[in-house]
């Protein structure tokens, strides 16, 4: 994935988690991953799987594209 895109995903996840008022551990539990996975996403060292993206979208009430 190009660096700009991974940074955009990382920033989106970080902002979403902050908006929801959740720690990385709490966000991870809601998405069904480990806190270290969320940490990798936020630091641009990984990206969410399609299943994780689906769960994140559920947290937003189905409006991931609007974030």
Residue 46's φ and ψ, nearest 5 degrees, are -165, 170
pLDDT digits (tens, 9 = 90+) for 6-41: 688 899 999 999 999 999 999 999 999 999 999 999
Binned at pLDDT 50, 70 and 90, residue 1 comes out as low
Distance CA 37, CA 39 (A): 5
- Tell me if the pTM is above 0.95: no
- The yes or no reply on domain 3-62 and CATH 3.40.630.30 is no
Distance CA 44, CA 60 (A): 21
C-beta separation of 27 from 7 below 8 A:
no
């Amino acid at each position: 994935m190009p660096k700009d895109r991974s940074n955009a995903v990382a920033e989106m996840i970080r902002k979403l988690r902050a908006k929801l008022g959740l720690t990385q551990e709490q966000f991870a539990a809601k998405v069904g991953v480990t806190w270290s996975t969320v940490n990798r996403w936020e630091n641009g060292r990984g990206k969410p799987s399609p299943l994780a993206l689906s769960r994140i979208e559920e947290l937003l009430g189905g409006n991931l594209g609007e974030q």
